[in-house]
Amino acid sequence: MPVAADKSLFMLRRSGHGRAMDLSISSADGTARAVGRREFVVLMAALMSLGALAIDGMLPALDEIAADLGVADPNQRQLVVGLYLLASGVGCLVPGSFADRFGRRRVLFVALGFYVVTSLLCALAPSFDSLLALRVVQGFGTAGLSVLPAAIIRDRFEGDQMAKLMSLIFIVFMVVPVLAPSLGQAVLLVADWRWVFVAMAVLAGAVWAWAWVRLPETLADKDRQKIDIRTILHNLPLTFRTREAIGYVLGSGLTFGAMFGYINSAQQLIGEHFGQDENFPLIFGATASTLAVSSFANSRIVERFGARRVSHAALCVFLVVSALQVYAALFHGGSLYWFVPLMSANLCLLGFMGANFGSIAMQPFETTAGSASSAQSFIRMVMGAGIGMLIGQAYNDSALPLALALLLSSFAALLLVLFSERGTLFRRPRQARKYLAMHDVI
């Protein structure tokens, strides 16, 4: 629904001159609980960041985990990250339907509880196989942390305003990939790898308490969906049948799959291939920080130019940079001075694509945002994790597999976006809304 459509859902505080100062999001049932827009942005980012922490916080510990648990194949240690991502993707199919029935808060706290408990169990894992099994359980059980924030935001915002808010959330969210390897490295300076999981549990517990006290229920009673086979079978496939959504979802899965491939192989690529093991957290954080910069820039320009025009331009440039990645891998394969700027540029461009692709794909789903977010997160995560694992396992002491994956995925993503837009890029937002209103489903 439009932001101003239901005045009971919002409290707009104004200055003495009548200028809007802050937007407080109140409970859908009219209770007194409300959270200011700034706090809401940080809280949503914190929830999403726990998943990033479970991935990036592990990277500095992979060597120690492999040595302690007797892992012979160096590429096998990547499974600590890859299997978590894959299980999280599969798990994304579950929480959306429950959140559409019982509300966002209840399902969110179940996911947070899973995060705390499984993190502590991972810290006690006696073998590598048991650790991998626990990471699968953790990824599946905590999938709601990637599904529910998008549904909560869609409950209150739509279109370019949703894209702007998602960009603001990504600014805070992207601090985690920058700092998480350093956090993991800091823990390893005073304790072994098991305490990295303990630190994850402590941080998740803090976010759980914060959300319990401050986060309102955003799902209105009139929008609650029944949980039955017919409802689930109707709601979940809508993304697949909605043309203006599916191209963006699949395109996101491809491009973020290439990014997951970078995450999976980053420790080996930067630490071993480029010989920068001690500087790995710094270099990885430097490349990831460009995502925060572009997310901030996107939040400033997306309402002016529209999510489509910004993301389409970013995708085209991403394709060019990926071609340069292939060139650098072939002719300057050992040069960190080629790799870091190009990888930073790729990640920077993802900041102009991720939030915008996501908001465009969620636009058609007002009353089934939970199920739509589940389906879309499932597609993105399973595709991304699968592609990322393939890239990681293809690591051959060079940057070429990653570079080729970036190029191929961006080219395929461009074709998919063209499919959703029926062959026309850079459509003006007003024209796009009118056009999509006439063509809802495939």
DSSP 3-state of 145: helix
Are 368 and 240 a contacting pair, CB within 8 Å? no
Cα–Cα distances (Å) from 337 to 325, 333, 434, in that order, read 12, 10, 46
Tokens at residue 134, please?
């626990």
Residue type, 351: G
Cα–Cα distances (Å) from 411 to 5, 346, 399, 427, in that order, read 39, 14, 19, 19
Bridging pattern class, strands 34-36 and 10-14:
unpaired
Find all residues with CB under 8 Å of 304, minimum gap 6, and list them: none
Query: Average pLDDT for consecutive 10-residue bins of the chain (442 residues)?
Result: 36 35 51 69 85 83 89 83 87 81 88 95 94 94 84 74 70 66 83 93 94 83 70 67 87 87 86 84 84 80 86 95 95 90 93 85 73 77 86 88 93 94 76 45 45
232-260 burial, b for 16+ CB within 10 Å, e for fewer?
beebbebbbebbbbbbbbbbbbbbbbbbb
Give CA–CA dist 389/385, Å, rounded.
Answer: 6
Give CA–CA dist 45/222, Å, rounded.
Answer: 27
User: How many CB atoms sit inside 10 A of residue 32's CB?
Assistant: 7
* Domain edges within the chain: 34-438
Fold of 34-438: Growth Hormone; Chain: A; (1.20.1250)
pLDDT given at position 229: 64
User: 72: exposed, middle or buried (C-beta count within 10 Å: 0-12, 13-18, 19+)?
Assistant: exposed
Tokens at residue 438, please?
């006439």
Give pTM, 2 decimals: 0.70
pLDDT given at position 122: 95
> How many angstroms from the chain centroid is the CA of residue 318?
18
pLDDT given at position 39: 83
User: How many CB atoms sit inside 10 A of residue 24's CB?
Assistant: 16
User: How many CB atoms sit inside 10 A of residue 157's CB?
Assistant: 21
If we measure between CA atoms, which residue out of 370, 389, 388, 383 comes closest to residue 144?
370
| 237 backbone dihedrals φ, ψ, rounded to 5° | -75, 0
**Length reported for the chain:** 442
User: 313: exposed, middle or buried (C-beta count within 10 Å: 0-12, 13-18, 19+)?
Assistant: middle
pLDDT given at position 368: 67
Cα–Cα distances (Å) from 106 to 103, 112, 150, 166, in that order, read 6, 10, 16, 22
Give CA–CA dist 32/13, Å, rounded.
Answer: 15
Give CA–CA dist 260/184, Å, rounded.
Answer: 19
Q: What is the CA radius of gyration of the chain?
A: 21
Tokens at residue 378, please?
């499932």
If we measure between CA atoms, which residue out of 203, 174, 212 comes closest to residue 115?
203
Sheet containing 20-26: which strands, arranged edge to edge?
Answer: 10-14, 20-26, 34-36
